[in-house]
Amino acid sequence: MLQLLRSKIWRQFSLVATAVIIGVPLLVICWSVLQLATAQDFSTLSHLWQTVVPEYIRHSLWLLIGVAFGVTTLGVGTAWLTTACRFPGQRLLSWALLLPLAMPAYITAYTYTGMLDFAGPVQSALRDWFGWSYGDYWFPQIRSLGGAIAVLSLVLFPYVYLITRATFLQQSATTLEAGRSLGLNPWQCFWRLAIPLARPAIVTGATLALMETLADYGTVQYFGVTTFTTGIFRTWYGLGDLQGALQLAAMLLVAVILLIFIERWSRSQARYDQRSNRPAPPFELRGGKALLASIACWLPLVFGFILPALQLASWSIERSEVWLQASFWQLTFNSFWLAFLAALLVVVLALWLAYGRRQIPTRLVRTSVAFAGLGYAIPGLVIAVGLIMVLTSVDHGIIALSKAWFGYNPGLLLSGTVFALLFAYAVRFLSVSLQTIQAGLVEIRPSMDEAARIQGYTPFQVLRKIHLPLLRPSVFTALILVGVDVLKELPATLVLRPFDFNTLAVRAYEMAGDERLADAGPPALMMVLVGLIPVILLSRAMLKSQQSALKEQDFVPVTA
């Protein structure tokens, strides 16, 4: 009994310790700012407030407001049309509207800059057609705050679409049928009934999109929009002021925590969100209404995925010799090797924490696991700032000890190495894997664990012989999702990568920064093609869910 108690205490301690280690970058940022506040050293903060912070706040707020409006309008509108209405192309669009998720925002920014800049094909064609010269016409500037809002909205609206559509599918048929019996048309049912019932889901999807907006670096930097992420990078790398970067990171962290709080509050108000196993019969749109619905759904897909993908394909064909270069395939190998290692590490950590939470569901363990999963809501640049503080301190300690004991300077062993990148990826993407595996564990009944323990299996044997075979689909999905996220991650990779170590994301960023947009095409296209994998898996899951709902009830379409 004593041995069992010791084993349980040790496992609980190790779970909490793992969660704390993963949360070290965030704790360091909070601790550094607290130290500055205790020392009453506000000189750097005062200088930042007097010079750049008001501009960062203003641009970030306008960006958040614009993206919130864009993703909500596009996501909710398309979710309602593909769920509650029937029109030509509706089945195809119901899953194809997820494709913009495969397109990193900064890649979309590069493609639209190439298409819409003064030397791009659009303005060149206008000048040829109408005989215009420079200064004879006005054309919207893509490299602007408005351009950043448009690009981020087109890429991030599937977050709102996915969550809101799931809610629309589950809404009570009785409520919508009551509205129809009172003579409400599809628009009135949407505005008066569906929107109020789906409000928590809409807020959740919009909050996810806004957290991605706050975390974005490549798009806003390329478009010249000064936000907190560009400010952190500029303060740290441009001015060499790590304390200033820490303080800006802390401000950004406060904004992210506020968004998380809003999302949690919205879910706490979901009591009135009625759900039913019987979906409502769809509206059958015909004529002009069907055409308008089809156009409204195709436009976000065309501008969010099809046009950027075609532009990337065009650049890749134009630079077809790149695909034959050994350096390009070395980049591809670096990216895939790093993504594979990170995915494997993150999934192992997620299995350890999720299974430990199942075995020891104490409040301390549950809180620790929840804390470890906060990283996905934190921008990669903030994680990198906190992590570099920890690793450089450890490196300096190792160097001092090595000099004192052996008279030898081993150099930097942790910071500026692949270890630092893997650590950052584990902090950033653990939540993705953790949620996927926890969802799989929920499907395994606790009675199976109890039966195995009665037969003398240890907890590790239960995991290896029972849970892992049953969790194979969840583990595979988590590996793919984390791997693709790592492949597209830019800010943390830029800051923490080893010297002379590049990835596809970094190469695309460097080429675009040098205005060599065509050279950015092949690495960007490779990332997009890989990014399609989780989107296809997600689309298949959605299709199966919809087909199962259709089997439960034979729909009787309502003509609009």
Number of Cβ within 10 Å of residue 270's Cβ equals 16
Residue 354 predicted with pLDDT over 80: yes
Coil, helix or strand for 497?
Answer: coil
DSSP state of 302: I
Rounded to 10°, the helix 418-442/326-359 angle is 50
Count of residues in the chain: 560
**Mean per-residue pLDDT, 332-355:** 89
User: pTM for the whole thing?
Assistant: 0.82
Cβ burial 406-439 (10 Å sphere, 16+ → b, else e):
eeeeeebebbbbbebbbbbbbbbbbbbbbbbbbe
CA distance 308 to 524: 10
Residue 40 predicted with pLDDT over 60: no
* pLDDT, tens only, 493-504: 888 888 778 888
Highest mean pLDDT among 61-65, 246-250, 275-279, 381-385: 61-65
Q: Provide the β-strand partners of residue 284.
A: 86, 559
Q: At a CB cut-off of 8 Å and minimum separation 6, what does 247 contact?
A: 33, 36, 44, 45, 48
Coil, helix or strand for 78?
Answer: helix
pLDDT of residue 303: 94
**Mean per-residue pLDDT, 341-353:** 90
**Mean per-residue pLDDT, 120-141:** 81
Confidence of residue 63 (pLDDT cuts 50, 70, 90): very high
DSSP state of 498: P
Coil, helix or strand for 149?
Answer: helix
Residue (of 365, 366, 541, 358) closest to 444 by Cα position:
358
Residue 299 predicted with pLDDT over 90: yes
Q: What structural domains and CATH numbers belong to the chain? A: 11-41+319-513 (1.10.3720.10), 58-315 (1.10.3720.10)
Coil, helix or strand for 241?
Answer: coil
CA distance 70 to 473: 34
CA distance 90 to 95: 9
**Mean per-residue pLDDT, 9-13:** 78
Cα distances (Å, whole numbers) of residue 70 to 103, 195, 231, 267: 17, 16, 25, 22
CA distance 176 to 85: 13
Residue 288 predicted with pLDDT over 70: yes
The DSSP-derived string for 508-547 is HHHHHHTT-HHHHHHHHHHHHHHHHHHHHHHHHHHHHHHH
Mean of the per-residue pLDDT values for the chain?
79
**Mean per-residue pLDDT, 173-194:** 66
What is the side-by-side strand order in the sheet with 283-284? 85-86, 283-284, 558-559
When comparing pLDDT for 126 and 189, which is higher? 126
Residue type, 520: A
Q: Provide the β-strand partners of residue 559.
A: 284
Minimum mean pLDDT range among 229-243, 360-374, 507-521: 229-243
**Mean per-residue pLDDT, 541-556:** 55
φ and ψ of 142, to 5 deg? -70, -35
pLDDT of residue 516: 82
Q: At a CB cut-off of 8 Å and minimum separation 6, what does 50 contact?
A: none
**Mean per-residue pLDDT, 251-258:** 78
* pLDDT, tens only, 65-99: 999 999 999 999 898 888 878 888 888 888 889 88
pLDDT of residue 157: 92
- Residue 467 structure tokens: 């849970």
pLDDT of residue 273: 46
Residue 2 predicted with pLDDT over 50: no
- Do 338 and 424 form a contact (C-beta atoms < 8 A)? no
Residue 131 predicted with pLDDT over 90: no
When comparing pLDDT for 36 and 22, which is higher? 22
Residue 150 predicted with pLDDT over 90: yes
Kind and range of the H or E run holding 250: helix 242-268
CA distance 291 to 293: 5
Cα distances (Å, whole numbers) of residue 176 to 91, 94, 352, 463, 500: 21, 21, 44, 45, 60
Binning the chain into helix, strand and coil, the percentages to the nearest 5 are 80, 0, 20
- Residue 421 structure tokens: 């990148």
Residue type, 43: S
pLDDT of residue 37: 60
Rounded to 10°, the helix 24-39/418-442 angle is 120
240: left (phi over 0), alpha (psi -120 to 50) or beta: left
Residue 20 predicted with pLDDT over 80: yes
CA distance 119 to 351: 51
Confidence of residue 556 (pLDDT cuts 50, 70, 90): very low
CA distance 465 to 467: 6
pLDDT of residue 554: 47
* pLDDT, tens only, 305-334: 999 999 999 888 888 888 888 888 888 888
pLDDT of residue 65: 93
Residue 548 predicted with pLDDT over 60: no
- Residue 482 structure tokens: 């984390």
pLDDT of residue 429: 87
- Do 375 and 257 form a contact (C-beta atoms < 8 A)? no
Rounded to 10°, the helix 105-116/121-130 angle is 20
